[in-house]
A and B are shown apart, each in its own frame.
Chain A
Amino acid sequence: MLEIRKTPMVAVAAAIVLFPLLAAAIPAMNHYTGIMVFAGIYCLITIGLSILMGYAGQISLGHAAFFGIGAYTSGILTTQIRIDPWLALIAGILAAALVAVAVGAPSLKLKGHYLAMATLAFGIIVNIVFREQVALTGGPDGMGGIPRMQLFGLMIDSTQKFYYLVWALVSGAFLFTVNLLQSPAGRALRAIHTSEPAASAMGIDIARTKIIVFVYSAALASLAGSLYAHYMNFINPSSFDLFFSIKLIIMITLGGMHTLWGAVLGSILIAFLSLEWLHFFEEFEIVVYGGILLAVTIFLPHGLAGVPAMLRNRLRR
């Protein structure tokens, strides 16, 4: 499961690089690049969430909060203090990390439902703050005029450019996480997931490790949020609500909680589902998501990424 072979990686990398060119060439697919920008932004969050849930076994129903912290920190700092977007992005990550430590330390000692509820409550509280602190965030009406980003003097002002920026970061995050999982830190994580008493007996500080992973996932979500803010140039609190936190869970569950590929797959699928396939059936969005989540939980507990293994097992019988 953790043997990330070279060939698929190269193939995927090539696909990522070539995709916008393909999309630009086919009229019906022109807007797909934009959808893939969102997919990439979601990926950044789900990669982090995936190791939190799939490897460390901790559930978070409030990750939209960190997404929002990144977005609003970037938005506020670049519009009100006019600092460089990249500095604002780093500030966002630091803010999210601090909040993650503050919330994570007491929460991660909780188990199962208690942890789920604590993260749920946390997510809602942060959303309320976004709505109420009107002077800072613009309240329910949102905050606009968020400037574009620049990279080495090049203005990132087109969907295609943003696509490459986002997916470069996704690739970085993906590789970083793969390295992590194959390292002593990753083994500690996997150990905690299987047997906390044994992990502890090997000298692994469980509480500290859980918090570090939580912070990492919060940092990635914040990064995604900052990118989102600079892509949309406008943000409002309804993008960072409970339903988005649940959408993240759906992405991970659909793709498969136990592999990183699952996180990527699920993010891409849900991005297309919400922005393309359900586009004309918006009223059905909620029911469809619920149905997908339920169906996957019952019939595909390892998500779509687990289908090949499932088929192999079936064929063996």
Chain B
Amino acid sequence: MDKITFASQLLQYTVTGITIGSVYAMVAIGFNIIYNVTEIINLAQGEFVMLGGLVMVFLQVSLGLPVVIAFAGTVLIVTLVGLVLDRLAIRPIRQPSVLTLIIATIAASIMIKGAAMLIWGKDPFDLPAFSGRTPILVGGATIQPQYLWVVGFLVVTVIGLTLFFNKSIVGKAMSACSENADAARLVGINVQHMVLLSFALSAAIGAVAGLTMTPIALMEYDRGAMLAVKGFGAAILGGLGSFPGAICGGLILGLIESLGAGLLSSGYKDAYALVVLLAVLFFRPSGILGNLEVTRFKRF
């Protein structure tokens, strides 16, 4: 009989921590994309993740579509929701102030959540894992193959975004907007389109996070808020607007949560990430990688 050593327990928590941290990192990246272009914090970010999971359930489980098609369909649909959010909730506001924008994104998030409840009900849903559930044993810790998919998609997202922002014309245009929207307008960049695109990208990334995490943690209609707050915590921890920061912040937050739940108390699991968020806001709002002068780390 295998003895579960403390070391292997620790390893297990680390593995789980990195996995969930990757999800938080993706949510944080979503926050950063919209924030960089618009300076808006989209409090509905978590709903994209929730929808990613539930729409995938609908396409893959209810309709029985093959996983790749369901994947593409989910990303498409959630991206559409993101576009609608910008168009119907953000754009119409005539006198945008920080307060009104916060309230607008909250309103949008509860509408999406409410709609999800009507469609899917309150029960949690499961998804088949992409490559089965045979666990991989490493040093006493069990790694579900789906964990690797989650981390893998984070890596793909990061590489994809780097290429997008540095090499593609659209991506560079978006970078220009976040640098200086007025200057961007002057050289002919349609800022409104860039804003729309930023919502679309954030929604897509959120959807991917959602559908890859559902086989591990299930998904239900009201998971969005908690994911959003923790994702925001990750973004702030790493320095708002910084993508390397989002990754670091997400992974650190995931580890703290996992280790805390495992070593201290699992009942307070959600509280750990929130306490970290408060600590960062109170003591170092610019984040651990953030620095008011270091704007060159702001994006890829």
Q: A–B direct touch, CB within 8 Å, in complex?
A: yes
A-to-B contact residues, CB < 8 Å: 53, 57, 59, 61, 106-107, 110-114, 116-118, 120-122, 124-125, 128-129, 131-132, 242-243, 246, 249, 253, 283-291, 293-294, 297-298, 301
Do the beta carbons of B274 and A124 come within 8 Å of each other? yes
In the assembled complex, which residues on chain A have CB atoms less than 8 Å from the CB atom of B104? 294, 297-298
Contact of B92 among A113, A283, A298 (CB under 8 A): A298
Smallest CB gap from B266: residue in A: A132
Do the beta carbons of B107 and A297 come within 8 Å of each other? yes
Q: A121-B277, A298-B93 are in contact. Are A287 and B111 (CB under 8 A)?
A: yes
Chain A min CB distance to B229 (Å): 6
Do the beta carbons of A118 and B103 come within 8 Å of each other? no
Is chain A's binding surface mostly helix, strand, loop or mixed? helix
In the assembled complex, which residues on chain B have CB atoms less than 8 Å from the CB atom of A290? 107-114
Do the beta carbons of A125 and B274 come within 8 Å of each other? yes
In the assembled complex, which residues on chain B have CB atoms less than 8 Å from the CB atom of A113? 41, 98, 102
B-to-A contact residues, CB < 8 Å: 41, 43, 88-89, 92-95, 98-100, 102-104, 106-115, 117-118, 225-226, 229, 232-233, 236, 265, 267-268, 270-271, 274-275, 277-278, 281-282, 285
Give the distance in Å from the alpha carbon of A289 to the alpha carbon of B267 in the complex. 30
In the assembled complex, which residues on chain B have CB atoms less than 8 Å from the CB atom of A301? 94-95, 100
Chain A min CB distance to B51 (Å): 14
Smallest CB gap from A124: residue in B: B274
Q: A117-B281, A289-B110, A297-B93 are in contact. Are A124 and B99 (CB under 8 A)?
A: no
The 18 listed contacts between A and B (C-beta, < 8 Å) are A106-B282, A110-B285, A112-B99, A114-B236, A117-B281, A124-B270, A125-B271, A243-B110, A289-B114, A290-B109, A290-B112, A291-B107, A293-B110, A294-B104, A294-B111, A297-B100, A298-B92, A298-B104
* Residue with the greatest number of chain A CB neighbours at <10 A, chosen from B43, B99, B115, B268: B99
Give the distance in Å from the alpha carbon of A47 to the alpha carbon of B76 in the complex. 44
Q: A114-B281, A283-B118 are in contact. Are A249 and B110 (CB under 8 A)?
A: no
Do the beta carbons of B271 and A246 come within 8 Å of each other? no
Give the distance in Å from the alpha carbon of A107 to the alpha carbon of B278 in the complex. 9
Chain B min CB distance to A101 (Å): 14
Give the distance in Å from the alpha carbon of A283 to the alpha carbon of B117 in the complex. 7
Chain B min CB distance to A300 (Å): 11
Do the beta carbons of A293 and B103 come within 8 Å of each other? yes
In the assembled complex, which residues on chain A have CB atoms less than 8 Å from the CB atom of B281? 106-107, 110, 114, 117-118, 121
Chain A min CB distance to B120 (Å): 11
In the assembled complex, which residues on chain B have CB atoms less than 8 Å from the CB atom of A117? 41, 229, 232, 236, 277, 281
In the assembled complex, which residues on chain A have CB atoms less than 8 Å from the CB atom of B268? 128, 132
In the assembled complex, which residues on chain B have CB atoms less than 8 Å from the CB atom of A121? 229, 233, 274, 277-278, 281
Q: A125-B271, A286-B114 are in contact. Are A249 and B106 (CB under 8 A)?
A: yes
Contact of B99 among A53, A128, A287, A288 (CB under 8 A): A53
Chain A min CB distance to B100 (Å): 6
In the assembled complex, which residues on chain B have CB atoms less than 8 Å from the CB atom of A110? 281, 285
In the assembled complex, which residues on chain A have CB atoms less than 8 Å from the CB atom of B117? 283, 286-287
In the assembled complex, which residues on chain B have CB atoms less than 8 Å from the CB atom of A112? 98-99, 102
* Residue with the greatest number of chain A CB neighbours at <10 A, chosen from B94, B106, B109, B277: B106
Smallest CB gap from B278: residue in A: A121
Give the distance in Å from the alpha carbon of A110 to the alpha carbon of B284 in the complex. 11
Give the distance in Å from the alpha carbon of A129 to the alpha carbon of B43 in the complex. 24
Give the distance in Å from the alpha carbon of A112 to the alpha carbon of B225 in the complex. 18
Do the beta carbons of A246 and B106 come within 8 Å of each other? yes
Do the beta carbons of B110 and A246 come within 8 Å of each other? yes
In the assembled complex, which residues on chain A have CB atoms less than 8 Å from the CB atom of B274? 121, 124-125
